[in-house]
Amino acid sequence: MNISGSKANFGTAPVFFTAISTILGAVMFLRFGYAVGNVGYIGTLGIILFGHLVTIPTAMAIAEIATNSKVEGGGEYYIISRSFGINVGASIGFALYLSQAISVAFYVIAFAEAFDPLIKWLQDTWSIGRIDKRLISLPVVITISTVMIKKGADIGMKALYVVVAILFLSLIFFFVGTSEHQAQLTSLDWTIRVSDPDNFFMVFAIVFPAFTGMTAGVGLSGDLKDPKKSIPFGTVAATVCGMIIYIFIGYKMAIAASPEDLDSDQLIMSKIAIWGPIIPIGLACATVSSALGSIMVAPRTLQALAGDRVFPIPYINRWLARGKVVTNEPFNATLITSAIAILFVAVGDINAVAEVISMFFMITYGSLCLISFLQHFAADPSYRPSFKSKWYISLLGAILCIYLMFQMNAPYAIVSIIFMTLIYFFVTYTSKSKEGLAKIFQGVIFQLSRRLQVFLQKAEKGEDNWRPSVICISPDFFKRPTAFQLMRWLSHRYGFGTYLHYINGYLSKESNATSKEELQRLLQISGASKSNVYIDTLISPSFTSAVAQAMQLPSVSGKDINMILFEFSKYEPENLEEIMDNFTLVKSADFDICILGSSDKEYGFNQSIHIWLTPNDITNSSLMILLGYIIMGHRDWKRAEIKIYAVVHQEEASEQEENLLSLIKTGRLPISPKNISILKHSDDVSTKDIINEKSKDADLTIVGFRGEAVKQLGTDLFSGYEEIGNVLFVNAAKIKDIS
């Protein structure tokens, strides 16, 4: 990552050459003939095209994301972290860095394979026994590391130009060369292959790394004059150029050698080239150039990770992020990368590790494609890249990456995903930044929510699919959170809730600032409670105007608001008069009205809900019972039971009992007769007394009330329940016809 005053002097050419030299690497020389021999030329074309269904979308995604914002040092890591968030970016960045660092060892080990002809000649001529190729690979990796530590990327780029020139020269010699097989060939058999060949996906897994490497040049982002120009052009050009070259290489091999020779001789290209020794030289150049590309890119990824302070120890972050004074070359990060590369070269046999590392590359490519897709879907106004891919191309690339990971090696794919997940949780735990997975899907969820709301608003509405869409307005959240708790339960699974914290006053700069501060407090508390309630504040000069405003607000569900919840303290009912003053206003909008009388007992132990039905409560009965069952659906009430009491006059008991049972049988009351206790009483016994006696130990009591009673009794209608806990008074706009 560049610091102020550092010199960024690279153009587009380094991006292109770094990428193309990694694409045209060891696999092309050593294993591409094996592919043509095992699946035929038509199968090889399929592998090339199938592989580029991953690499081209990835290249286009990189080009798109890089042209949307300033790209600094760290390449792919910078792009991912600034799009996904530091924590997600760091988890992918760790895997990406390990892939790049260990790739240096891979390429150096492959470099040693170029000396097979020399080793064979020494053994035949001088009768030398087995020669350990680490005698070649270890000095080479130490030399490359020393050069990069002392001279930096400038010398690396100069060497890169030389080896790329030799690489292309070897390809020219290969294409102009011929063979006996080619001279005798009359027509190309597109499907010819060896007997008992390896299956398509096995061959694909071996050959696919040949198409990767197009992102190698992105790692130089901090050293580019104009990353928004150089990264898209250099990356896409290298990818397309590499695909075309591979198509022609496959064709040349198919016409110049038999499937058996292609399968058995890993340096078959030297038998076809006009001058054979150029192929081992080209292999050496390809592997050295790839190793140079990786050892230039990997330290910059590590430096960018440290620059974002993702390591838990500050000193490590400062030490790894430190670069040379003028150029900001990642000196310390290069030391660590070199040590990792030397270690793996010394081990020698790292085939199993190689498969895991290839998985990390696939995760990186899939992540880049996923970012592009999500940004298209999220429709973020700030996302305005000058180069635009298509959302379906990016989605295809992301899906194929996941599919191919499991096709190549399912156990390693699972190990890679688990490893990435553990890193994510570790970084999230240790990092000050808590911005994580939510950042990825924030815009997507916004768009999805918007579309669902419009859909629900346009959908036909009927009582057969009724569910509560509740709005609560109260100034007493910080005094008594009982109304908010009830909203939590109503909107946990079956309903939708909007809680408005009422602030008395006129809208001004000061009151607006106060409302924002209190909203943050509300969100912090509600976040701890894990509620599904939408919370906001409402400033209004009077409670009546606040109620009128609240009733006209759109529901967050996309459905109409159909219920309003008020709350008062049974012991200090100062605001009950205000609630009663607005009863007629709310009824005019045909809302169901719930008034919660809060007590010091609150909701007790959340173990019992008592519902009281009276002959005059037929309109309210269905809603009362339904609310009881909805509340019971929350985990806080998982051990609770509902008791339903039906109070009937003694002289009319049989008739009223029959009416209640009739309502149950027709489905208008969604309960079983065995859940009802019929209580007979005479006129000299108050219903309130019965409720106080039977429900004194209830954790929530639900009682119905009628509009006529409000007109006659006013606030007295809600008094006299001091012996019991919280009481929910319910007035339904109409009978809920629920079967």
pLDDT over 90 at 199, yes or no: no
pLDDT at 372: 81
Classify residue 214 as exposed, middle or buried by CB count within 10 Å of its CB (0-12, 13-18, 19+): buried
- Neighbouring CB atoms inside 10 A of 673's CB total 12
CA distance 559 to 4: 53
Mean pLDDT calculated for residue range 410-426: 81
What pLDDT shows up at residue 155? 59
Separation of alpha carbons 81 and 60, rounded Å: 18
Rounded Cα distance between 53 and 126, Å, is 49
Tens digit of each residue's pLDDT (9 = 90 or more) over 369-378: 887 888 777 7
pLDDT value for 598: 92
Q: How far apart are CA 96 and CA 301, in angstroms?
A: 8
pLDDT of residue 705: 92
Q: Give the pLDDT confidence score for residue 650 in this predicted structure.
A: 66
| pLDDT confidence tier of residue 205, bands split at 50, 70 and 90 | confident
**pLDDT the model gives residue 16:** 82
* Per-residue pLDDT at 107: 81
DSSP collapsed to 3 states, 451-511: HHHHHHHHCCCCHHHCCCEEEEEECCCCCCCHHHHHHHHHCCCCCEEEEEEEEECCCCHHH
Question: Please, which residues have CB within 8 angstroms of residue 503's CB and are 6 or more apart in sequence?
Answer: 475, 511, 514, 515, 518, 537, 538, 539, 540
What span, in angstroms and rounded, lies between the C-alpha atoms of 576 and 476? 13
Q: Express each pLDDT in 424-479 by its tens digit.
A: 888 777 766 655 556 666 667 777 766 776 666 666 555 556 778 899 999 988 88
Predicted confidence (pLDDT) per residue in 496-512, tens digit:
888 999 999 999 999 99
CA distance 189 to 326: 59
Domain ranges (residues) in the chain: 13-438, 460-598, 599-739
Q: What is the CA radius of gyration of the chain?
A: 37
Arch. (CATH architecture) of 599-739:
3-Layer(aba) Sandwich (3.40)
Mean pLDDT (the chain, rounded):
80
pLDDT at 594 over 90: yes
pLDDT digits (tens, 9 = 90+) for 263-291: 888 788 888 989 988 888 888 877 777 78
**355: which strand partners?**
none
**What is residue 350's predicted lDDT score, i.e. its pLDDT?**
47
pLDDT given for residue 2 in this prediction: 44
- Write the pLDDT tens digit of every residue in 654-664: 666 666 666 66
Task: Assess whether pLDDT exceeds 60 at residue 520.
Answer: yes
Reported confidence tier of residue 387, pLDDT bands at 50, 70, 90 = confident
What pLDDT is attached to residue 567? 94
pLDDT value at residue 439? 60
User: Where is pLDDT greater, at 70 or 627?
Assistant: 627
Do 460-598 and 599-739 fold alike per CATH?
yes
Name the residue among 9, 327, 371, 16 with its Cα closest to residue 164.
16
What homologous superfamily is domain 13-438 in, according to CATH? Answer: Amino acid/polyamine transporter I (1.20.1740.10)
User: Looking at residue 726, what is its pLDDT?
Assistant: 94
Residue 101 near residue 137, CB atoms below 8 Å: no
| Residue in the structure block whose two tokens are 């430190």 | 322
Which CATH homologous superfamily contains domain 460-598?
HUPs (3.40.50.620)
pLDDT at 648 over 50: yes
Is the distance from CB of 88 to CB of 420 less than 8 angstroms?
no
Q: Does the structure show a pLDDT above 50 at 735? A: yes
Q: How many CA atoms lie within 13 A of 244 on its CB side?
A: 7
State how far the Cα of 88 lies from the Cα of 431, in Å rounded to an integer. 11
- Of 21-35, 205-219, 720-734, the poorest mean pLDDT is in 205-219
Pairing label, strands 534-540, 608-613: unpaired
Structure confidence at residue 457 (pLDDT)? 63
The SS3 of residue 642 is strand
